[in-house]
Structure 1
Amino acid sequence: MLISRDRILTTHVGSLPRPADVTDLLFAEERGDPLDPAEFEIVVGKATREIVRRQRDVGIDTVSDGEMSKISYATYIRHRLTGFEGDSPRRVPADLEAYPDFMGRAAKTGGTPSYARPRCVGPIAVKTMAPLEADLRRFRAALDATPSPDAFMNAAAPGVIALFQPNEFYPDDDAYLDAIAAAMRVEYEAIARAGLVVQIDSPDLALGRHMMFKDRSEAAFLVRIERHIEVLNAALVAVPKAQVRVHVCWGNYEGPHHCDIELERILPTLLKLKAGGLSFEGANPRHAHEWASWTRVQVPDDVVLIPGVLDSTTNFVEHPQLVAERIERFASVVGRERVIAGSDCGFSTFAGFGTVHPEIAFAKLASLVEGAAIASERLWRQAA
């Protein structure tokens, strides 16, 4: 993973808006409709090349494949692992339960995505890595066409798979997590062998508090996420720490978020992750103030912060000066070399769904790049 040696580098969380033809294919695949593999390869391959080109055109340093082939960042695993079938009831976040009229309005206006969330009904094992191999092949072709200083690929954490896909087979949560981690280890190691940074998406470490564990105490939640981190670290044993970054968030949706656990409460536990980079929300109105929490912990010298300096749930395009100010706050804590500017979350967490309009998403990324340049000029000038 590159660090900001000469200037503040830029990245984002991973998912980017899919074109309509890609979305149509992904939902057809989800329904079990027959697909033409050649058509799928042509359409998704073209979209992957285009999304890499667009990221580089606006100046993003560490790019992703936009998660073009995935219907969502957590449920895609049903095509790669055994044991997952059907659909399951939705777990409603506690903040939305507190405002049922708002929740109903959001559902009626398309503010909540609709797709299957399979449940675990049998033994988990690797079914096929062909979809991952295809993702890696398409991403490599896109990077060959449009080189980038650095690149990453997303993969779901064991804990977030468990968060969205309830267990109906294993005797307890620990056995379920262990089985998921053993199977996902194959994916993590394959991404690393391909020479990419492995981004582990792990909203369970924050969102889980007001969703999966909303009926437990805060102390019990902290014990559980320590276990989530333990199994994730074990699955990453063969991947160098410097090649791993982990994304943590409180849920990429517009809502009150007044039930979000404070960053300061989970931060000591998060620092136990085997990750050279920590990606987290730092721009939205509920968490922007929490940059100060990092001043009250000892961040290991080999950990880079990737704060969100763009909100991923609003169509406001952040002013570059505001982006620069946010970057500089984090640089004051860990030093300029250990900050990479990012987004709060993905811009298309679910295929065909995104609060931010696709063109505005790229306008926001352009503002991110401009703000990073402003911050770089100030930070390196101060050190001269």
Structure 2
Amino acid sequence: MAMSTEPIGSIPRPPELLAAMRSHASGEIDDTDLGKAQDEAVRDTIRRLEGIGSPVVTDGEQSKPSFATYPLDGASNLASDGAVIPFADGHQRQLPRITAGPFRYRVHAERYLRAALRHATVPVKQAVIAPSALSLLYPGAGLDGYPRERFLADLADEAEADIRGALDAGAHLVQLDFTEGRLSLKLDPSGGVLDDFIALNNAVLERFTEAERARIGVHTCPGGDQDSTHSLDVDYVELLPKLFRLRAGAFYLQMAGESRPDRALAVVADHLPEGARVFIGVTDPIDPRVETPDEVCERVLAAARHVPPDRLGTCDDCGFSPFADDTSTSRETAFAKIRARVEGTALAARKLGV
């Protein structure tokens, strides 16, 4: 069969949608008008991905406020002064903080998937946020009457429902976004926080059957926001062995932006779980230069020296616009990079005979 190639998630929003979002925030248009703009952006995203020849598509996260905070949209038990994520260029993102329990998702990813399925003629992949990321919402000082243990139990239930809803609605694959994995090693080089993240995510993944986990993947990268990263300086070799302890059927790894990909790929070869597939990033969303299909092909062939081609696929390193206000990469550049990924993967597959 042909080598698989898949997008990770977000695509830069079109100007019309960004304008509609601003108008909605200012009260100039209502929810219905915003919904129409979002649906048109989803339709156009899927149409363009299919036109490029992408065998699997996403909705481009056009309707999400961000890849991380979509479950919280409209929640009333939040404060704005949560955990701060610093990026290498000096800018920051700040998560909210829960102020009271119980913790519940206000929005589940199934909503986005069903909207995308109305427009797609090929399989649709659905990205969800990993429970480990949302565990950062709980304040370090604790909450009266709502201990951390109860919060984590509620979070695990909600994360399971988020994944299961998308699987039941017909997702080709549900992808957990785990960008906080590499970041955790920057915050805690001992690996204790990473161990806690892995344990929490596995507590959710182990609720699914082996057949269901074959349709669940995990994506990791060093962050990619406003053309900067939060943890690229953390040695990938410190993350990958533990990452592969996750009970998932597929792994999506940033690799195009890695300075020593062969070293990381050797670790992948040593630790990739039996039966799992690995998708290697072959385009770098924070690099403004568009890769050529030949460059993509060479990256695939390099990966195939470590991983058997029948267990290998390709992807983008990360989403192109994980937060709705990130306009550092144009929509046209994103689609040009995706085209190079699709064409370069096909070229490599022919050379490898798969």
- TM-score interval (norm. to shorter): 0.7 to 0.9
Query: Could you say what secondary structure the match of 1:245 adopts?
Result: strand
Q: Which moved more, 1:194-203 or 1:178-187?
A: 178-187
For residues 106-135 of structure 1, the C-alpha deviation after alignment (integer angstroms, 9 at most, x for no partner) is x4xxxx67xx73211121444645x64542
Give the C-alpha shift of residue 256 in structure 1. Answer: 7.4
Q: Is the 8 A contact 1:281 1:288 kept in 2?
A: no
Please identify which structure carries the higher helix content: 1
Aligned mate of 1:122, from 89, 92, 100 = 100
How far apart, CA to CA, are the structure 2 residues paired with 1:304 and 1:218? Answer: 28
Q: How do residues 266-277 of structure 1 correspond to structure 2 at under 5 angstroms?
A: 266-277=239-250
Give the C-alpha shift of residue 175 in structure 1. Answer: 4.5
| RMSD of equivalent CA atoms | 2.8
Q: Which moved more, 1:269-278 or 1:37-46?
A: 37-46
**1:166–1:342 CA distance, 2 compared to 1 (3 A):** farther
Q: How do residues 226-375 of structure 1 correspond to structure 2 at under 5 angstroms?
A: 226-234=198-206, 236=208, 240-253=212-225, 254-255=227-228, 260-286=233-259, 288-289=261-262, 290-297=264-271, 299-375=272-348
Q: Is the 8 A contact 2:12 2:329 kept in 1?
A: no
Instruction: Return the TM-score normalized by structure 1.
Output: 0.81
Q: Is the 8 A contact 2:241 2:267 kept in 1?
A: no
Letter of the 2:266 partner, please give it. Answer: A
Structure 2 partner of 1:78: 72
Structure 2 partner of 1:99: none
For residues 259-285 of structure 1, the C-alpha deviation after alignment (integer angstroms, 9 at most, x for no partner) is 643222222222221211101110104
Letter of the 2:17 partner, please give it. Answer: V
Q: Does 1:194 align with 2:169?
A: yes
How far apart, CA to CA, are the structure 1 residues paired with 2:280 and 2:118? Answer: 29
How far apart, CA to CA, are the structure 1 residues paired with 2:192 and 2:182? Answer: 13
Q: Is the 8 A contact 2:220 2:253 kept in 1?
A: yes
**1:270–1:345 CA distance, 2 compared to 1 (3 A):** same
How far apart, CA to CA, are the structure 1 residues paired with 2:96 and 2:21? Answer: 16
Query: Could you say what secondary structure the match of 2:127 adopts?
Result: strand
Structure 2 partner of 1:218: 190
Q: Does 1:13 align with 2:47?
A: no
How far apart, CA to CA, are the structure 1 residues paired with 2:200 and 2:97? Answer: 19
Query: Could you say what secondary structure the match of 2:252 adopts?
Result: strand
**1:166–1:322 CA distance, 2 compared to 1 (3 A):** farther
**1:238–1:28 CA distance, 2 compared to 1 (3 A):** farther
Q: Which moved more, 1:231-240 or 1:277-286?
A: 231-240
Instruction: Return the TM-score normalized by structure 2.
Output: 0.87
Structure 2 partner of 1:139: 116
**1:327–1:25 CA distance, 2 compared to 1 (3 A):** same
Q: Is the 8 A contact 2:228 2:286 kept in 1?
A: no
How far apart, CA to CA, are the structure 2 residues paired with 1:32 and 1:209? Answer: 40
**1:59–1:293 CA distance, 2 compared to 1 (3 A):** same
The percent identity for this pair of structures is 26
Give the C-alpha shift of residue 328 in structure 1. Answer: 1.8
How far apart, CA to CA, are the structure 1 residues paired with 2:147 and 2:104? Answer: 20
Give the C-alpha shift of residue 161 in structure 1. Answer: 1.8
Give the C-alpha shift of residue 226 in structure 1. Answer: 3.0
Q: Which moved more, 1:244-253 or 1:229-238?
A: 229-238
How far apart, CA to CA, are the structure 2 residues paired with 1:37 and 1:89? Answer: 27
Q: Is the 8 A contact 1:244 1:276 kept in 2?
A: yes
What runs of 5+ residues in structure 1 fail to find an aligned partner?
A: 97-101
Letter of the 1:138 partner, please give it. Answer: A
Q: Is the 8 A contact 1:257 1:286 kept in 2?
A: no
**1:238–1:371 CA distance, 2 compared to 1 (3 A):** closer
Q: Which moved more, 1:329-338 or 1:188-197?
A: 329-338
Q: Is the 8 A contact 1:18 1:68 kept in 2?
A: yes
Give the C-alpha shift of residue 159 in structure 1. Answer: 0.9
What runs of 5+ residues in structure 2 fail to find an aligned partner?
A: none
**1:24–1:125 CA distance, 2 compared to 1 (3 A):** farther
Q: Is the 8 A contact 1:279 1:306 kept in 2?
A: yes
Query: Could you say what secondary structure the match of 2:124 adopts?
Result: strand
Letter of the 1:314 partner, please give it. Answer: D
Give the C-alpha shift of residue 84 in structure 1. Answer: 4.1
For residues 181-223 of structure 1, the C-alpha deviation after alignment (integer angstroms, 9 at most, x for no partner) is 211221111100011011111112212222xxx1x34242343
Give the C-alpha shift of residue 241 in structure 1. Answer: 1.1
**1:217–1:263 CA distance, 2 compared to 1 (3 A):** closer
How far apart, CA to CA, are the structure 2 residues paired with 1:33 and 1:287? Answer: 49
**1:187–1:222 CA distance, 2 compared to 1 (3 A):** closer
Count of paired positions: 348
Structure 2 partner of 1:52: 46
